[in-house]
Structure formats: structure tokens, C-alpha cells
Amino acid sequence: MQRIIQGTRIAIVRGDITKYETDAIVNAANSSLLGGGGVDGAIHRAGGPAILEECRKIRSRQGECETGDAVVTTAGRLPANIVVHTVGPVYRGGNEGEERLLASCYVRSIEEARAAGAKRIAFPNISTGIYGYPKEAAAQTAWTTVRGLLVNPSADSIETFLEEVAFICYDEENERLYRSLLEREDR
């Protein structure tokens, strides 16, 4: 399912993000950048050792990646040019700035992808696995943030360079939530 919003194609895809062909794949990383479980582990496994090698170089330069921030590495063997690693918030009830930090993951990922020359970007469902963010709230934050960047352009707006934003949903529940958000565009 897809729609065009302000010249950018928004796609909702059920599948494995490590197999999605795009310019930039976003990794729901942990702050160590050294791989982990879930999406993070899958991206490191599928992409191969080049990703971990670059993550180690980033760590030696700047230390860990802060929650809400993002960094870029090679995509290794993935069907993309780059991986944007972003650290989502651990959900602690919703009163500790989690929504702001999650929104920052999407903004910073798009900024880093843009700086690296990407025109297409694929997002996983950030923070909804072991970090415990409620899926519906996370989808709403992701959608609102990305849509806001598209429909409220600034002088250096993403809409002037971004051709596609894909939300890659590994499970049926996330796919249903994102499809529902996209269908609201028609109303």
C-alpha cells in the first residue's frame, strides 16, 4: 500500500527490512552500536562484518550513540547504500520524554540519510520490540513526524530530496496500524 504526499511516495510494506531495496535502511540500534537482537541483530547478520567495523570506528571517535540520535555506516551486503543506525527510547510509561526521543529518531535518520545522498529510506518499527514502546503509539509518532516533515516544508525540507519513505512492518499488527494511518490520508 502506498500514497504520494507532497511528492514523496509513502509505502507500507510487510516484510524483512534486510531484503528491502532502497538507498538507506534504518537500524533500530542500541547505544553501543555493536549489534544486538531483533532488527539490530538481523541487520548486522545480513549486512556482514563491514557494518560492525564501521560502528567500532564511530564508537572510537564519539563513544556510544545517544538515544534519539543517528549515525551512518556502509550497508555491507544489504540491498542498500547505507545503514542509518538510530537509538530509540526504552518505554518507561510515556512520561519520560519517550515520544520526543522517538520522533527525534525519525528526524535524525532522515537528516543523516540526506547528508549521505539517499533519496529513499526504509524504517523498521523503532523501539517496539524489547524496548517495549506500545506499537500503536510508536506508529502514530512515526507517522506524525514523517508526515509533518513532508507537509510543513522548511527551506531545506526533506520534500525537496526525498522520493520514498517506506515503513517496513515485520508483523501483521504493525502493518495494520500503519495502513490505518495511511488510509486516513484519503478521508
119: left (phi over 0), alpha (psi -120 to 50) or beta: alpha
Question: Is 23 labeled as catalytic in the residue annotation?
Answer: no
Catalytic residue among 16, 23, 40, 186: 40
Q: For residue 37, report the phi and psi dihedrals to the nearest 5 degrees.
A: -100, -170
| Buried b / exposed e along 94-116 (16+ C-beta atoms within 10 A) | eeeebbebbbbbbbbbbebbbee
Residue 25 near residue 17 (C-beta atoms within 8 A): yes
Rounded CA separation 53/178 (Å): 34
Active site residues: 40
